[in-house]
Each structure stands twice: as C-alpha cells, then as structure tokens.
Homo-oligomer: A and B are copies of this chain.
Amino acid sequence: MKITIAVIPGDGIGPEVINQAKKALDAIADTYNHVFLYKEAQMGACAIENTGNPLPDKTLEICRKADAILVGAIGDTTFDNNSTAKITPVQGLLRLRKELGLFCNIRPIKTYEGLIHNSPLKREFISGTDILMYRELTGGAYFGIKELSDDGQNAFDGCAYSVEEIARVTHLAFKSAQKRRKKLTLVDKANVLETSRLWRKTVTEIAKEYADVSLEYLFVDNAAIQLIVNPKQFDVILTENLFGDIIADEASVIAGSVGLLASASIGKKNGLFKPIHGHLSQFKGKDYANPLASILSAALLLQHVGLHEEAFAIERAVEKSILLGITTEDIKGKNNYVASTSKVGDFIADYI
C-alpha cells in the first residue's frame, strides 16, 4: 500500500517524539512492504515564528491532499502565559480541525499490566479498564462566538450545538459500542445547560436505532468522580468538546501517564492522529520525553487506513517495551531503568 502522510512535528517536544513515530512507521513499511510518503509541514508556534500564521496555507494544502495527518505537539509556554496575544499556536490546530471537518475525537484508555504499579491509583480500582472516549471536536465553546468589550471589562464565549452536529458523532459512538461491550455513557450537564439538554434529547432519540446498546447518563461533575473511583464501569463514553477535553485528560491517569495516550480525530475524509499531551517545552530537545503516545498515534493512523495487522504490530512492540522496562522517566519500570526518547524509539522499531 502506498499512502501519503502529512507530518506536523509542531512545537516543544513535538519534533523529537514525531521522529520516533516515523521510525516505527518506517519499520512497518519495511516489514510489510508498504510505501509511506511523508510530507512535512509547519503548524503552531514555529509556524507563527516563520510565517506569522499558525496554520500556513501550504500546511492546510498538504493536509488536504494527504491520506492521514500525524501531529507531534502544539503550543509554547510564552504563548500560554500571554492572555492578550491575538494570534496563538492552538488556533492552528483548531482551524485545521474545522477546515478538515474532524468532528470526532477518539481516545482509547486502558491499563498496561506492566505499568499499574506506577499509577497513583490502586491496582484493584483500575486493572482491566478499557474505555473508548468519543469527544465532539468541531462544535461547542471551542468554536463559538468570542467577544471582548471595547473597554476590556466584559468577555463572552458562546457554546452552540445543533442536532446534526450531535447526531453524527453519536452514531459513530453507538456503532463502536456495538462492536464492544454494548454500553454507552453520555456525559453532560443537562441540569444546567441548554446545549446539554439538546445532547440528552438527541442521544436518547438515536439510541432507539441501537437497541442492543444500553445508554446511561452522567453529569460531568459526577463523571469526573466515577472515572477515578470506578473506571471499569465504562465502555464507550460520549461527550461534547469542552467536557471531553477535561475528562479525557483526567482519564489518562488511569493508564499511568499522559505520555501514553494517543488520539484519533476523524470526520469527513482524512484523519488526524496525535498524542494528547501538550508541548512540554521544558523538556524540548532533551531526549527525555515519552514517545509512546506519538508512536501509538501512528498505530491509530494505520488502523484508520485499514492496516490493522500493522497497527497491532506497533501496539505489541509498545507493550513489549513497557514489559521490559525500556521506557522514559514518567513510566519507568520496577527496575528503575530510564531510557531516552530515541532509545525507546529505536527499541520499538527494532522489535517491529
């Protein structure tokens, strides 16, 4: 198979973790006789620095033409702490999601036996957790009206949702629940928000088409508790954009480290695959950051283009590295050995 992959290393630790993902992909190409064409492109703080635009036209064009997009990390500490900047790195990512219609973000959350000792959570609470989180990605407060009054005294964010926006991601979530343990939990704040009430109504309606899936509702404040005290109760979780941002990151503690979690953003055509962690600029260039989320993002990419066995080969290699303790500081094994970013990448590629 021949596929074109837009590669956006981005900012902070993005370039170094993306390099490890490419090593893994190259090993797959070699072993399984595929051709992966990488088209490198800029987005985020580095793009602002070089072009003044967090999502240059050329990047958008490369992404549109590619079969899939692989992203490292976006953002930068200076921008994070500057609340008055008009142009920011994350605008690039948000616009890319919107332009490509990537309305559905999917994040698998599961435990690795070899890592459970590392988690702040006790083994008996988390062992065996296997959650698939569906987050709506192009609606809600992320893309709502934003206003700052001329005198700077009043700010406003609008959160809008239409039945259509809710329905399309809901169908994907139900279809996936059908192939899993047949349970879907909708997370909202329907006792307070009008948009949440529309979510509840729409999802309840659609549930009738998936009679084999049981539907539960959870207020987001309670969901934040339940994810920690009893994560095993969940199969597929469905929620809106902002709530998904919060609870999916929270759920990463179950896996043991945010450095392990990959995400797929899919929609009309080509998908975007990226670790859920941030730019972690404090570790930039130190060959220190965990590349597994980036490597697992490459696995999600392969799955998305139909290369299931290949995706599985990456996942197996990741599991092996964890089992052997060839891992970075954040998830170091019982033997306390700490590998560098590139060492982990080399091991994975070799193993494949």
- A78 cross-chain contacts in B, Cβ below 8 A: none
Contact A192/B141 with A163-B152, A224-B246 known, Cβ cut-off 8 Å:
yes
Best-buried of A84, A147, A158 by chain B (most CB within 10 Å):
A158
Best-buried of A119, A161, A228, A243 by chain B (most CB within 10 Å):
A228
A94 within 8 A of B: yes
Contact A83/B204 with A148-B198, A221-B245, A246-B220 known, Cβ cut-off 8 Å:
yes
A307 within 8 A of B: no
Nearest to A201 among chain B residues (CB) is B83
A350 within 8 A of B: no
Give the distance in Å from the alpha carbon of A122 to the alpha carbon of B195 in the complex: 37
Best-buried of A79, A120, A200 by chain B (most CB within 10 Å):
A120
Contact A159/B159 with A189-B242, A197-B83 known, Cβ cut-off 8 Å:
yes
**A190-221 at interface with B (beta carbon < 8 Å):** 190-195, 197-198, 200-201, 204, 217, 219-221
Give the distance in Å from the alpha carbon of A183 to the alpha carbon of B242 in the complex: 27
The answer on a CB contact under 8 Å between B80 and A193 is no
Nearest to A225 among chain B residues (CB) is B249
The answer on a CB contact under 8 Å between A224 and B198 is no
The answer on a CB contact under 8 Å between B225 and A157 is no
Complex partner residue of A229 from B122, B191, B197, B253, CB under 8 angstroms: B253
Binary contact track A67-87/B, C-beta < 8 Å → 1, others 0: 000000001000111011000
Min CB–CB distance A13 → chain B (angstroms): 15
Min CB–CB distance A128 → chain B (angstroms): 14
Min CB–CB distance A5 → chain B (angstroms): 26
Min CB–CB distance A92 → chain B (angstroms): 12
Min CB–CB distance A48 → chain B (angstroms): 14
A250 within 8 A of B: yes
- A88 cross-chain contacts in B, Cβ below 8 A: 191
The answer on a CB contact under 8 Å between A228 and B120 is yes
The answer on a CB contact under 8 Å between A147 and B228 is no
Min CB–CB distance A88 → chain B (angstroms): 6
Give the distance in Å from the alpha carbon of A172 to the alpha carbon of B219 in the complex: 29
A162 within 8 A of B: yes
Contact A217/B160 with A194-B147, A225-B250, A250-B228 known, Cβ cut-off 8 Å:
no
A133 within 8 A of B: no
- A204 cross-chain contacts in B, Cβ below 8 A: 83
Give the distance in Å from the alpha carbon of A163 to the alpha carbon of B147 in the complex: 14
The answer on a CB contact under 8 Å between B81 and A217 is yes
Give the distance in Å from the alpha carbon of A242 to the alpha carbon of B188 in the complex: 12
Give the distance in Å from the alpha carbon of A344 to the alpha carbon of B221 in the complex: 27
**Could you list 22 A-B pairs, sorted by A, with CB under 8 Å?**
A80-B191, A83-B197, A84-B201, A120-B122, A121-B122, A146-B194, A153-B162, A154-B160, A154-B198, A156-B158, A156-B195, A157-B193, A158-B158, A189-B242, A189-B245, A220-B245, A221-B249, A224-B224, A225-B258, A228-B250, A243-B246, A250-B250
Residue positions of A touching B, CB distance < 8 A = 75, 79-81, 83-84, 88, 90, 94, 119-122, 125-126, 141-142, 146-148, 152-164, 189-195, 197-198, 200-201, 204, 217, 219-222, 224-225, 228-229, 242-243, 245-250, 252-253, 258, 278
